């Protein structure tokens, strides 16, 4: 994953997130927050706080299709400079 290569300190957190997310069967944000309490939804994007809240992992989601697509791994500073809605139209 190139994003983790740009942020090597986040690799362990991304791997833990992936392990939990890949086995999850979430139907809405409430289910996601049961696994990842610090998650926010912005349009069709889910923003996960990972790495001790040092990184934002952004995924596009379609709950009806049970579909989750990784879009970005960002630091707080990087996250503040983007419009999340443009990542998941």
pLDDT at 89 over 90: no
Range of the domain at 14: 2-86
Residue 39: CB atoms within 10 Å: 18
pLDDT attached to residue 2: 73
pLDDT at 4 over 70: no
Domains of the chain: total: 1
Dump pLDDT digits (tens) for 6-64: 889 999 999 999 999 999 999 999 999 999 999 999 999 999 999 999 999 999 999 99
pLDDT attached to residue 1: 57
pLDDT at 87 over 60: yes
Non-local (6+) Cβ contacts of 45 within 8 A are 58, 59, 60, 61, 71, 84, 85, 87, 88
């Amino acid at each position: 994953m190139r994003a983790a290569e740009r942020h090597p300190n986040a690799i362990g957190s991304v791997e833990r997130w992936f392990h939990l997310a890949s086995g999850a069967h979430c139907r809405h944000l409430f289910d996601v927050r049961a696994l990842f309490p610090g998650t926010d939804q912005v349009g069709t994007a889910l923003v996960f706080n990972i790495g001790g809240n040092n990184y934002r992992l952004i995924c596009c989601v379609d709950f009806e299709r049970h579909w989750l697509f990784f879009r970005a791994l960002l630091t707080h500073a990087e996250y503040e400079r983007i419009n999340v809605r443009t990542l998941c139209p």
